[in-house]
A and B are shown apart, each in its own frame.
Chain A
Amino acid sequence: MMTRNILAYGLIMGILAMASGCAKLARPDMMAVRPVTTMSKSSPLYMGIALSKVRGGEETNPALTSKVGNMELRPAIEASLQQNNLLSPTEKSARFRLEVFLLELKQPMVGFTMHVESFIRYRLIRTDDGYVVFDDIISAPATATMDDAFYGPERLQIANERSVHNNIRQFIERLLRAFGEESGQSP
């Protein structure tokens, strides 16, 4: 009986280990942030930001670990800016340009509970004179458990997305505070 239990457990672990070899891409729509405020049209930020650089992301290798690449991060940030009335319709008309650098995505190697923490640097530069009006690193943790997904790679993907989502939301909230705009609570 004992041998059978061990073998059954080994089989389950084997399936889980093999399954962990199929890493998934982060989904931009799951990382994008819904409106955190109703932006005043008189604010210099109102439809005033162009996203110029997004760097530091790592591409997901399906045989290894889920990551967040620049190709997924850029649309997530653009959608967040747009939904918060911060994105400039054209790059030429933008009062500010935003540079984003994903410095680190701290992930677990294995685990049932996946803790991920993203560290992103945001630099907002005034287009007219090149003055840096905002330059900060934001760290945002997130967790995904067995309740979120039984499948390990999916759990890691969810934790990645939540962490980046929390990071972008914190950035928008801090930016609005820095410009004297009130931000409300958003999920």
Chain B
Amino acid sequence: MNTLRDAPRSLLAVATYGLFCLLPALPLAGCAPQYSKPTAYAEANPGWGSPYGYKVKQLEKDEFSVFVTGNPKTSRERVAEIALLRAAELTREQGRTHFLIIKQISEVSSTHQPTYLPLGGLLVWVPTGETPSSEPTALILIRILSSAGPYPPEAIEAESVIDRLADKLKK
């Protein structure tokens, strides 16, 4: 039978047990997503950081794919612009001036956003359910053109894209 003298020890045991149980859930629930702003111009890092932003893959020596996922607060236009700006900066990083868009896809993907229950004074968020949501995506395949030129009419000048979009997207 519990007595008043045992109460502090019991509370400590409960607290320790609770912490032990919740600790493993931290990687799953550590940061509750609050998408009050559209996706920023940044690299996506689904493993350890945000799943939103751009990802680049090299296909051939001068061919790259740029894939962008936006959070539900982001417009399709913005993810397309992030892809274009990343393509332009990639061109500049390669020491070139022009690139071509070979293929492009823009769509809105269905998804579910987890809903969280804050526990422990907002330090621990535990997923409790999910709500249907949608995320805009843009995928472009680009070919970075040789510096020698001449450039075809559909070639895009990297500097003009950076001038037009960098300030807008990097704010």
B109 touches A117 (CB 8 A): yes
For residue B141, CB closer than 8 A to chain A, the reply is yes
Bound Cα distance A155, B26 (Å): 21
When distances are taken between beta carbons in the complex, the residues of chain A under 8 Å from B112 are 108, 111-113, 115
Q: Which of A1-35 contact B (CB under 8 A)?
A: 3, 6-7, 9-11, 13-18, 20
Determine if B105 is an interface residue (Cβ-Cβ < 8 Å): yes
Interface pick from B71-79, B124-132, B142-150, B155-163: B124-132
Q: When the two chains form their complex, are residues B47 and A17 in contact, meaning their CB atoms are under 8 A apart?
A: no
Q: Which of B69, B105, B114 contacts A110 (CB 8 A)?
A: B114
| Interface presence of A85 (CB below 8 A) | no
Q: Of A13, A119, A141, which one neighbours B105 at CB under 8 angstroms?
A: A119
B107 on interface, CB distance cutoff 8 Å: yes
A46 contacts chain B at the CB level, 8 A cutoff: no
Classify the secondary structure of A's interface with B: mixed
B interface size (C-beta, 8 A): 38
A139–B111 contact, CB under 8 A? Answer: no
Whether B139 lies near A10 (C-beta < 8 A) is no
CB distance from A115 to the nearest CB of B (A): 5
A13 vs B55: C-alpha distance in the bound complex, in angstroms?
Answer: 31
Give A104 to B57 CA distance when docked, in angstroms.
9
Q: Which of B14, B18, B26, B28 contacts A16 (CB 8 A)?
A: B28
A: contact size bracket: 35 or more
Which of B26, B51, B69, B141 interacts with A121 by CB under 8 Å?
B141
A10–B111 CA distance with the chains assembled, in angstroms:
25
A16-B28, A64-B47, A141-B109 known; A104+B18 contact, CB < 8 A? no
In the assembled complex, which residues on chain B have CB atoms less than 8 Å from the CB atom of A119? 67, 105, 139
Q: B51 to A109, Cβ gap below 8 A?
A: yes
Give the chain B neighbours of A141 by CB distance below 8 A.
109-110
Q: A111-B114, A113-B112 are in contact. List 20 more A-B contacts (CB 8 A).
A: A7-B18, A10-B25, A13-B28, A14-B23, A15-B24, A16-B25, A56-B57, A56-B59, A101-B59, A103-B57, A103-B141, A104-B55, A110-B28, A111-B112, A111-B130, A112-B112, A112-B129, A112-B130, A119-B105, A141-B109
Which chain A residues have a beta carbon within 8 Å of chain B's beta carbons? 3, 6-7, 9-11, 13-18, 20, 55-56, 64-65, 101, 103-104, 106-113, 115, 117, 119, 121, 135-137, 139, 141
Binding site for A on B (CB under 8 A): 14, 17-18, 20-29, 46-47, 51, 55, 57, 59, 65, 67, 69, 103, 105, 107, 109-112, 114, 119, 126-127, 129-130, 137, 139, 141
